[in-house]
Amino acid sequence: MDLPKVDVKKILYATDLSENARYAFAYAVSLADLYNAAITFIHVLPEVRSRLDKSVIGYISEERWEAIKSQNVEEAREAIIGKRRDHLAIRDALHQFSEDAKEGREGEGFVTDDIIVVQGNPVAEILKYSEEKNCDLIVMGTHGQGTLADAMMGSTARRVLRRSPKPVLVVRLPGEDD
């Protein structure tokens, strides 16, 4: 039987900066090291619900509210990229992801291709950037919620897995109950 050659050169690592995402990062780094692939980070800030928008607009103008939301997205983007010193926590979290994954490993590690911070629907943005960046694989963490909860509520990882034309590696924390 002839199997197709698997060639992974670009990995999209989707993170919500949770413990699950941190654990999944170790897999992204391991695969990047194995395939000599570059990693693109993506962190999606969910959009504010329209009901909240309407409530806030009752207190301030719509233009001012949009400016505030845009400023927050830009600050988060700059914090992850590391251009602002007052947002060291997010940058440090990504740096810690990297250090934890490299700890105890020999080799060159991985190359960061890009760091993307956007606001929007997490599923749509992950799928969009996996195509735009021509990624070969998506790596992300998930929360184990059990079969009933999984059936009733679709997680971001589950929806990405269902809709992505690209392979998706979904990583759960070890020891999570089903």
The predicted structure's pLDDT at residue 79: 54
The predicted structure's pLDDT at residue 103: 61
The predicted structure's pLDDT at residue 128: 97
**What CATH number does domain 10-47+88-172 carry, 1.10.8.60, 3.40.720.10, 3.40.50.620, 1.10.1200.10?**
3.40.50.620
d(CA 176, CA 170): 14
d(CA 29, CA 52): 38
Block means of pLDDT (10 residues each) for the chain, 178 residues, are 89 87 86 91 74 63 73 63 46 56 58 78 94 96 60 71 95 72
* φ/ψ bin of 81: left (φ > 0), alpha (ψ from -120 to 50), beta (otherwise): alpha
- Report residue 171 as tokens: 């990583």
Q: Are 65 and 35 in contact (CB under 8 A)?
A: no
Q: Are 138 and 167 in contact (CB under 8 A)?
A: yes
**Residue 24 belongs to what H/E stretch?**
helix 19-35
pTM of the model as a whole = 0.70
